[in-house]
Structure 1
Amino acid sequence: MGRGRSTTLDDLSGLPWPVPLVSGVIGYYAIRHGVPAWMANRGGTFGQAFASHGDALAPLAWMVLAFCMLAALVSFFRSRHRRRLLDTRAGLDSIAALGWRDFERLVGEAYRRQGYSVEETGLGGADGGIDLILTRDGQRTLVQCKRWRRDKVTVNVVREMYGLLAHHGAHQVRIATVGGFTRDAAYFAAGKPIELIDGQALLAMVREVQDEARSDRPAPTRTPASRIAPVVDTAAPAIAAIPDCPRCGSGMVRRTNPRADTTFWGCTSFPRCRGTR
C-alpha cells in the first residue's frame, strides 16, 4: 500500500529547516514590497493605483510566511526525531521494535550521516517498494527497507528492485532488513550492483555513525560498513564463490567485523545458526 502523493508542505518540510524559513522571508518581502514597487515603476494609471493600495497584498504575504514557517518547524522536529531514532538504538531488538516508517527514517539517517543526500520518495510503504533514493558523487542508489526479523528477504524482492535500476536511472540497489536473505537471493545478487544489508551489517553501520557522532568527527566518505553479496570475479561462477554453512548446510554471506577489520563467512540463518568460515 503506497503512501499517496506528496503535498507542497511535504516537499518543503522534506528540506533542511533553514531552507523553508529563508524562502518564507524572501516570499514575504517579495509580495509585500517587491510587487507593489515593480508595479509602481511600470507607471500608468493601473500601476499607480496598485502601488497606492499595496497593503492589499499584506494578507497574502503573511500567509506565505506562515506556511513556510510551519514547514520549517515540521522539518526541524522531523530532523530531531530521526537523530534520536538512530542515537538511541542499542541493538537489533531495538531496531526491530520500530514501526516500518521509523525503520525507513533510521536507515535514511544512517546514510545521511555518511554524506549522502537522502530523498524519502513516498513510493514504498509497509509492503515494500523504493523507500529512499541516495545521491552522492553523482551516483544514485535505490534503497528498499524491510523490517523483517523472522522472515528472510526472498529472491523475488531482490529481482524486482534490480529491475528498477534502468527505469529510475540509478547505479545501485540496496536492500536493508533486520533479518537476513535467502540463499537464492544471495546467489542472484552476487556480481551485480546489488547490496544486501542484513541485520548484523545494519547494526554495524548504525554503531559506526553513532561512534562518529559521539567523537564529534565528520563522517568520512567511504563505502558502506558491510556487504552481504560482494562483487565476485566475473571469470568464476557466482555460486562457487558462496560456501555452504558447515553446521546446517544453508548458504553463507560475507560479513565484516568492524572492530577487528576482518571479514568472514556467516550463515544466512543467523542467529538460529551461528556457523562461520
Structure 2
Amino acid sequence: MFEDILRPILGLMPIVEGLSGKPYLYYFWSSIAIMLFVIKFVFSRTRKRHLLKEARKKKGLYHMKWDTFEKFSAQYFRELGYKVHEFGGNQADGGIDLIITRKKEKVAVQVKHYSPKNKVAVNIVREMLGVFNSGKESMKLTGVMIITSSTFTKPAIEFAEQNNITIIDGHQIIKKIG
C-alpha cells in the first residue's frame, strides 16, 4: 500500500529498482524526497509570512524591491482568502501581474511598486479598464484592481470610482495587515 501511494507521487520506483533491485532503497529515497518537499513547502510559507511581518514592522512597503512587492501582494491576497495565480516578473504580462479568485470572483490585478512621492496616475487606471474590457469575455474576468506601495492621484481615484475599478494604496495595505 505504501508503495502504491509513493509510486505516482515520485515516479522513482522503476529507476531505483532498475539500478539496484533493492526495494529498501526506494523507501529511503522516497522518504528523502518527501522530506525535501515538506521542507520546501515550510520555507516557502515561512518566507511569504515573513514578507507580511516585515511590512508591518517597517510600516512601509517602499523598502521592498519591485519583485518582492509583487510576491508580497500575492501573499496579501492569499491572507484575504483568495487563490492567487502569479504572472508578472520580468516578462511582458499585458498589465496583469496576478489573477485572484474567490467564489465567483475572478479579478486581474496590476501591482505597482512606487516610491512614496511617485503616485499612480490616471493613465495606469485607464489601461486597467482596457485590460478588463479586453479580457472580460476571454478570461471571464469579473473585475480589475490596482495595488500600489504608494498612493493614487486624485484623477486616478475619480476615474477608478467612476469605472468600478478597485484601487488599494500602501496606507490601506498597512492598515489592513495591522
1:149-178 CA distance string (max 9 Å, x none): 221112221122222222432111111112
1:83-140 CA distance string (max 9 Å, x none): 011023236754210111221222222221221112222x354997322211101211
Pair 1:28–1:95, CA change in 2 (3 A): closer
RCO higher in structure (CA 8 A, sep ≥6)? 2
SS of the residue 2:124 aligns to? helix
Q: Which of 78, 96, 111 is residue 62 of structure 2 equivalent to?
A: 96
Deviation at 1:202, TM superposition (A): 1.6
Tell me which residue corresponds to 1:202: 173
**Amino acid corresponding to residue 80 of structure 2 in structure 1:** Q
Tell me which residue corresponds to 1:25: 6
Tell me which residue corresponds to 2:103: 137
CA distance in 2, matches of 1:116, 1:104: 15
Q: Does 1:118 align with 2:84?
A: yes
Kept after mapping to 1: 8 A contact 2:56/2:177: no
CA distance in 2, matches of 1:138, 1:185: 27
Deviation at 1:76, TM superposition (A): 2.5
CA distance in 2, matches of 1:67, 1:164: 42
Give the TM-score normalised by structure 2: 0.72
- Residue identity over aligned pairs, in percent, reads 29
**Amino acid corresponding to residue 121 of structure 2 in structure 1:** T
Tell me which residue corresponds to 2:154: 183
Question: Could you say which structure has the higher helix fraction?
Answer: 2
> Larger radius of gyration, structure 1 or 2?
1
**Amino acid corresponding to residue 77 of structure 2 in structure 1:** Y
SS of the residue 1:144 aligns to? strand
Kept after mapping to 2: 8 A contact 1:91/1:203: no
Pair 1:63–1:206, CA change in 2 (3 A): same
Where do 1:54-65 residues align within 5 Å?
Answer: 55-56=17-18
Q: Which of 120, 143, 159 is residue 172 of structure 1 equivalent to?
A: 143
Pair 1:30–1:99, CA change in 2 (3 A): closer
Give the TM-score normalised by structure 1: 0.49
Q: Which of 75, 78, 88 is residue 109 of structure 1 equivalent to?
A: 75
Tell me which residue corresponds to 1:217: none
RMSD: 3.4
Deviation at 1:68, TM superposition (A): 7.0
- Show structure 1 runs of 5+ residues with no match: 1-23, 36-53, 208-277
CA distance in 2, matches of 1:71, 1:198: 36
SS of the residue 1:88 aligns to? helix
